[in-house]
Chains A and B, each alone.
Chain A
């Protein structure tokens, strides 16, 4: 793992959470969408908050695809979940929502989970991209100091 790769993972976390916040704010502005009026979803695409949210989610997607090209799904997802911590902080300090002790505990657990997976190997399958039947070779990657 190089510094650039960590930067890509950070990009996934930041773009994802900020994009979600913008979308949330936009959808609250647009209001409830009735199941009988599905066209309202497309009208939502005119809202500037939604448009900026979508642009950021494009950036998120590019970073996410890059990360998936060199790391396992079960590595990328927990490693970038630090974005939920960011989302909670945005909710508290920018959207002025209340962050309860339970939520702080949630933030702590997520951070612990991120630390857990980030210390391990990013890719566990050396031969990537072959069909369904694959030989399970002895796992080399997991032999590291866990004492």
Chain B
């Protein structure tokens, strides 16, 4: 039963964090290069601009869901299973989501990188 809970938590973490990553990536691209903005407009402007961005807020909500699911997952299963399994699945999910929803150019190099990292992380869990 505990095993089923662990994998349910892993599934929720993966879906929530892919959603969060895509939303946050979109928000930060619209905000612009933080380093540049910081130099020209100051810290408060940058932070204000980020915090007021609707996609950022939605992304944070998704990440909060992922975080609390992670707390549950970690209390039910080993960190060496939960952390790598979620990460591994999140990598593949993110590569697909970034290509479809963010129109990122996921070339062969990036697919291979995502696959290598996902396999590596899965092996860490073994």
Interface residues of A (CB under 8 A from B): 4-5, 20-21, 23-24, 27, 30-33, 35, 41, 44, 64-66, 68-70, 72-75, 77-78, 81, 84, 87-88, 91, 97, 100, 102-103, 105-114, 116-117, 119-120, 124-125, 128-129, 134, 136, 139, 141-142, 146
Contact = CB atoms under 8 A, between A and B. Distances in A.
A113 B106 CA distance: 14
B19 interface: no
Interface string B62-98: 0000001011101110011001100100110011001
> Binding site of B, secondary structure by majority: helix, strand, loop or mixed?
helix
- Give the contact-size bracket for chain B: 35 or more
A108 B30 CA distance: 35
Given A70-B35, A72-B98, A73-B104, 13 more contacts: A41-B68, A64-B24, A65-B28, A69-B31, A69-B34, A72-B25, A74-B94, A84-B120, A91-B80, A103-B124, A105-B123, A113-B120, A116-B112
A114 B117 CA distance: 7
A125 B107 CA distance: 12
A74 B22 CA distance: 10
A117 B50 contact: no
Given A65-B24, A110-B121, A41 B107 contact: no
4 closest Cβ pairs, A-B complex? A106-B123, A109-B120, A113-B116, A110-B120
